[in-house]
Amino acid sequence: MENNTLLSIKNLQTYFELKRWGFLSAGFVKAVDGVSFELAKGESVTIVGESGSGKTTLLRTIMGLAKPTGGEMVFDGRRLNGERGQMGRDTRWLRSQVGFVQQDPYGALPSFMNVRRILREPLIVNKVKKEEQEHRVRESMEEVRLIPADDFLPKFPHMLSGGQQQRLVIARAIILHPMLIAADEPVSMLDASVRVEILELIGRIQRDHNLAVIYVTHDLSSVRYFSQRAFVMYAAKMVEKADVREIVNNPLHPYTQVLLNAIPDPDAQNATRFRDVPPGEPPSLINPPAGCRFHPRCQHIIEGLCDEEEPPEFEPEPHHFVECWLYK
Amino acid sequence: MGKLWAWLKIKELRRYPSLAAGVILVFLFVVLSLYAVVSIPYSEAVRLWRGGPGVWDDYPRNAEPVWFDLFTRDQLSRTIVVPFGAGLKTEEPLANGMKRVETLLPFSFEYDTFPVELSMFTLTTEVTNATVSWHTPDGRIITLIEGRRLNRGRTTYYISQDELLKNQLEGMAPHRGLFADPEDRGKPLRGEYQLVVEAELGDADELDAKLVVYGQIHGLGGTDHNKRDLMVALLWGAPVGLMFGILAAIGAQVSTFVLAGVGTWLGGKIDRVFQWVTQVNLILPVLPILIMIGHFYSRSIWTMLGLVIALNVFSAAMLTYRSMFLQLKESAYIEAAQAYGAGDARIIFRYLLPKLAPTLLPQFVLVVPSFVFLEATLSVLGLGDPILPTWGKIINDAYTQGALYKGLYYWIVQPAALLMLMGVGFALIGFSLDRIFNPRLRTV
Amino acid sequence: MSARTEKSPKRAGASARFQGPLLRVEELCLHFHASYGVVRAVEGVDFELARGQTVAVLGESGCGKTSLARAILRLLPRNIARYSGKVFLEGTDIMKLSEERFRHDIRWNKISMVSQSAMNSLNPVLKVGYQVAEPLLLNHMGKDQAFERARQVFGIVGVPPAFLDRYAFELSGGMRQRAIIAMALIADPVMVILDEPTSALDVLTQANIMNALKRIKQELNLNFMLITHDIATSSELADEVLCMYAGQLVEHSKAERFYREPLHPYAQKLMASVPTLRVDKKPEFITGQPPSLFNPPEGCRFAPRCHKRFDRCQEEPPLFVHGDETVKCWLYENR
């Protein structure tokens, strides 16, 4: 039976230990604390959240850059244990299966290497044969439309525009033929008119090669057209999961509602009224509040419940999951 | 490296005149070093510096450099050598089977100042006695000595130190008195002089004589108390200093850079150990340690070089590089490299080090003179390499011989000036490079 | 807390004296020397702002919007090639003022600025209250008076007075940005230039800051000049919009017009590229790249990428003014 699930995560935990004076333990930063979801092959999802929500750590854990400390992760049928341990073959294999597209295109490229070298590095590291290397380099360049390739290959990153740099980053991400692309705010540092171009590019590559894509962003409006589902993260927990359309039109979790409400559309009317914003700040990941982590800022708090017990996941509507006591 | 040249565009160079000046200076020193090594090969240099029998005979003691002559109206006296075999020999057989040999050593004295010393060297195959006489241009003949014993082989007659002769010349030292103009005893008489050596020898024996009239000035650098031509050391000081400075700089700086990168990236225990070693090393006093080892073990320049490098690897620069690498460690492109599976070694040597390598260059250039000075300092303190002629050694000799008291300023000023110029040259280059490279790297 | 301050003597007196537009810019030009030539960062910008109006300066990276702000405030680098034009603040040409007078009278006094990521350049070893009061202290105001005023502006921006005694690292990102805004308000200026005030902040924090700015705008009747590339956020404050492209002003119109149906083709494409959350619209992108400011082409600078170009566009269009709408496009020659 062909399993269509690429990635399955159950109760994933990624904690970082804080050390005082080099060796005394001073608590844990619980960056990812019990996250579960499934990603099908070729599916595109967006993880939405603010800074401190744990979304970047989640992404890095999926890519093999951060070590999970608990829970279970299964990638393409391979079980990756969530224990602390040495960097095993599993991690190395995982890294070659996930392509990384970062936020800052210029920072993501070594300034002292030219385009050809930048693209060859992942191939060299993963021991791809030399003849194959040249072929793959050109193939990637064509995929991202950095053509004619010969014009670009000898150039250095500072000679390219922001959009071209990001294309190069994408070319590098797909050159190992990964099954998943992890994109961390891929367009937030680009101009407005270029963003759509890049997102469409990723979308096309995704469709052509049946790649799965995980976008991590706080700007839901830009990726809305490029992903199928959206997951909302708050304080290291995934509070809502649904189709993008559902999330935008029918947000169920109070935090999602508040978040969407705070995102402006370009409209002259905005200047005439104030926005409803919850007071306070996201909680610390070292010492999160008891019960539901959003309860100190929530309008719909149920006394005695929300502030004491963590809500489990409910499915009030088909394929629409919420971690909120309101939907018991 | 190609990128390095792209940065060093000519236009940039034109904006930094100090860089051009520095490059010219250092280039001159490199040319000087090459010239030194080619014109006076190493073995020759060592021979000339170390001395040995007869090596320094032909040079005056503490002579000033010849270009002093430009500053005086008088023609300062130079050394005149009438070598072996140049004299006119006449032989006269005698009744007793011996022969009377007369060797005539002529020379022309056309200077306005007196020579500073006068010596005669003889080579004989058998012991004999000789009579030496002096013929002046105006026809006077002065007998220097009669019946002087000449040993088999080589004998030296230090004419200028002959006390009896001095008395004979009314208290004037022979090298002055023999040349004095009778009408103006303060000035030497110009003209043709002759030294005549007469001796009786067996028929089969030979006698040869050499005269050296030591001048006041000699060579481009003058000479020292051992009659050594200072030019040897002045020339050779350049390659020795450069070599020491550059090798030490490479050894220390590059090692520090690489170790900083390795330690910072690997983090954890290794990083802590490196830091600890650096902090301990910073407290260690370099010069006293070098002095100690020099005293008790070996003063060879290679030992010193090795020690200097070893003591400078874990230096303050290590901490500077570490802070830069720490910042770089968090860069996006390093993270990307990890994401596509690059291992530690690759990341250190292909991603971390190359990014910061351009800062290495100005640092390297700036640190070369400090090592050159270190080597000179060791020499001045008497701990230099015993056989190599270096600038520091000249200064050391000058100091121990009381050059300043004796007014022999050139002895100290020449090597000191060369040292300073070399330092200035590197400093000019280093500071300009700093300005060229650093603005871009401030975004590290 | 209603921090409705008295209309300060500066502003009350000024409005009694001068009835015209608060700010009037004529033919402002700013060119820089670069190693490869002259960069024409701002060229021929002309506009007028009435009192109390907030204008958003929109455009993409390299269009000259930050340079425009610096040109108005005379925060110039050393490699200036050309700096010309007229800037009338309340009727006086401030370009003609000497450097010393400008520094004393105008900069921070009448016009202040919150620059990009200013919140990260707070001095870590000084208390926040001291830094906020610093502009006044430097102008020889007494310490007590200055700190009292600091407390006042903290109230206006919504930071509890307890934070006056804290250090920068003890404040969250949003708080720090508010402190910076307070610093810009402390000398009671008539105009505040905000350069990307919220781009480094989270969505909720951003909304909070925007709320604070809205309140300040209402209560103090200031002029804000908001420079940003985030078009959606700019609509939270803007009464008018200045759209820049390749160093030139291409459109100046009211917010209702610009955000719904802008006039200039570039502005149209720009608005089309902004993704919306609530309206179902597939965003578009603009092909090609903006021209280099080093050697801009003859004629209309947007023509190569314009979907509405025609023959006339080979010649550079002037700024056509129709009422309170200004467009630099031949399509609007005769309205």
Give all domains of chain C, ordered by start, each with its CATH number. 9-110+189-332 (3.40.50.300)
Q: Could you read off the pLDDT of A150-175 as tens digits, one per residue?
A: 889 999 998 888 889 999 999 999 99
CA closest to B346 among chain A residues? A125
Q: Does the distance separating the beta carbons of B341 and A126 come in below 8 Å?
A: yes
* pTM for this entry: 0.80
Contact of A28 with chain B, judged by CB distance below 8 Å, is answered with: no
In the structure, what pLDDT confidence band is assigned to residue A226 with cuts at 50, 70 and 90? confident
Instruction: Tell me the three state secondary structure of residue B5.
Output: helix
In the structure, what pLDDT confidence band is assigned to residue A22 with cuts at 50, 70 and 90? low
Cα–Cα dist C207/C18, whole Å: 35
For residue C233, which residues of chain A lie inside 8 Å, CB to CB?
Answer: 264
CA closest to B353 among chain A residues? A112
Cα–Cα dist C259/C272, whole Å: 10
Å between B2 CA and nearest CA of chain A:
10
β-bridge pairing C37-49 and B98-109: unpaired
CA dist list (Å): C267 to C49, C60, C246, C302: 20, 11, 13, 11
Q: Does the distance separating the beta carbons of A107 and B333 come in below 8 Å?
A: yes
Q: Does the distance separating the beta carbons of A224 and C235 come in below 8 Å?
A: no
pLDDT at C7: 43
Per the prediction, chain B carries an average pLDDT of 86
Q: Does the distance separating the beta carbons of B339 and A126 come in below 8 Å?
A: no
HEC string of A109-153 equals CCCCCCHHHHHHHHHHHCCCCHHHHHHHHHHHHHHCCCCCHHHHC
Q: Which of A96, A102, A112 sits opposite B341 (nearest CB)?
A: A96
In the structure, what pLDDT confidence band is assigned to residue A123 with cuts at 50, 70 and 90? very high
pLDDT at A85: 44
pLDDT at A119: 93
Q: Which of B272, B333, B341 sits opposite A109 (nearest CB)?
A: B333
Å between B355 CA and nearest CA of chain A:
7
Q: Does the distance separating the beta carbons of B340 and A126 come in below 8 Å?
A: yes
Residues of B contacting chain A (CB within 8 angstroms): 3, 272, 331-333, 335-343, 346, 350-351, 354-355
Q: Does the distance separating the beta carbons of C260 and A268 come in below 8 Å?
A: yes
Asked if residue A208 has pLDDT above 90, the reply is: yes
Count of structural domains, chain A: 1
Q: Which of A193, A221, A265 sits opposite C286 (nearest CB)?
A: A193
A41: burial class by Cβ within 10 Å (0-12, 13-18, 19+)? middle
Instruction: Tell me the three state secondary structure of residue B280.
Output: helix
Q: Which of residues 167-226 of C touch A (CB under 8 A)?
A: 172, 174, 202-208, 210-211, 214-215
pLDDT at B11: 55
Q: Which of B337, B342, B355 sits opposite A112 (nearest CB)?
A: B355
Contact of A272 with chain B, judged by CB distance below 8 Å, is answered with: no
Å between C66 CA and nearest CA of chain A:
15
Q: Does the distance separating the beta carbons of A200 and C274 come in below 8 Å?
A: no
Strand partners, C204: none
Q: Give the domain extent around A203.
A: 5-265+274-327
Cα–Cα dist C2/A61, whole Å: 48
Instruction: Region of A280 please: left (phi>0), alpha (psi -120 to 50) or beta.
Output: left
CA dist list (Å): B93 to B100, B199, B205: 6, 12, 12
Q: Which amino acid is at C27?
A: E
CA closest to A222 among chain C residues? C275
Q: Which of A108, A125, A172 sits opposite B346 (nearest CB)?
A: A125
Q: Does the distance separating the beta carbons of B341 and A92 come in below 8 Å?
A: yes
pLDDT at A37: 92
Q: How many CB pairs under 8 A join A and C?
A: 117
Å between C280 CA and nearest CA of chain A:
9
Q: Does the distance separating the beta carbons of C289 and A271 come in below 8 Å?
A: no
Of A74-78, A313-317, B132-136, C191-195, least confident by mean pLDDT is: A74-78
**Torsion of Cα atoms, B131 then B132 then B136 then B139, to 10°:** 10
Q: Which of B332, B346, B351 sits opposite A107 (nearest CB)?
A: B332
Q: Which of A225, A262, A281 sits opposite C203 (nearest CB)?
A: A262
Domains along the sequence of chain B with CATH: 2-45+228-441 (1.10.3720.10), 66-214 (2.60.120)
Chains in contact with B, where contact requires at least 3 CB pairs less than 8 Å apart = A
Å between C224 CA and nearest CA of chain A:
13
Chains in contact with C, where contact requires at least 3 CB pairs less than 8 Å apart = A
For residue A109, which residues of chain B lie inside 8 Å, CB to CB?
Answer: 333, 336
CA-based nearest residue to B20, from B5, B10, B35, B30: B10
Å between A197 CA and nearest CA of chain B:
22
Q: Which of A163, A193, A262 sits opposite C204 (nearest CB)?
A: A262
Asked if residue A232 has pLDDT above 80, the reply is: yes
Å between A37 CA and nearest CA of chain C:
24
| Top-confidence residue, A274 or A22 | A274
The tokens for C321 are 């003014």
For residue B350, which residues of chain A lie inside 8 Å, CB to CB?
Answer: 121
Q: Does the distance separating the beta carbons of A65 and B339 come in below 8 Å?
A: yes
Q: Which residues of chain C have pLDDT under 70?
A: 1-17, 335
Q: Could you read off the pLDDT of C212-238 as tens digits, one per residue?
A: 999 899 888 889 999 988 899 999 999
Cα–Cα dist A246/B367, whole Å: 66
Q: Which of C202, C237, C282 sits opposite A218 (nearest CB)?
A: C202
Cα–Cα dist B133/C184, whole Å: 103
pLDDT at A169: 95
Q: Which residues of chain B have pLDDT under 70?
A: 1-15, 439-444
Q: CB under 8 Å to A44, separation ≥6 — which residues? A: A203, A206, A212, A213, A214, A215, A226, A227, A228, A229
> Domain of A68: which CATH number?
3.40.50.300
For residue A51, which residues of chain C lie inside 8 Å, CB to CB?
Answer: 202
CA closest to A221 among chain C residues? C277
Q: Does the distance separating the beta carbons of A258 and C286 come in below 8 Å?
A: no
CA closest to A92 among chain B residues? B341
Q: Which of residues 137-156 of C touch A (CB under 8 A)?
A: none
Q: Does the distance separating the beta carbons of B351 and A102 come in below 8 Å?
A: no
CA dist list (Å): B62 to B72, B214, B226, B406, B418: 18, 10, 8, 10, 20
The gap between the terminal CA atoms of chain A, to the nearest Å, is: 35
Q: Which of B272, B332, B351 sits opposite A102 (nearest CB)?
A: B332
Cα–Cα dist B200/B435, whole Å: 79
Q: Does the distance separating the beta carbons of A121 and B333 come in below 8 Å?
A: no
Mean pLDDT of A250-279: 88
Cα–Cα dist C239/C224, whole Å: 10
Å between B331 CA and nearest CA of chain A:
7
Q: Does the distance separating the beta carbons of C229 and A195 come in below 8 Å?
A: no
Q: How many CB pairs under 8 A join A and B?
A: 62
pLDDT at B49: 86
Å between C313 CA and nearest CA of chain A:
22
| Strand ranges in A144-236 using DSSP code E only, listed in sequence order | 180-184, 212-217, 229-234
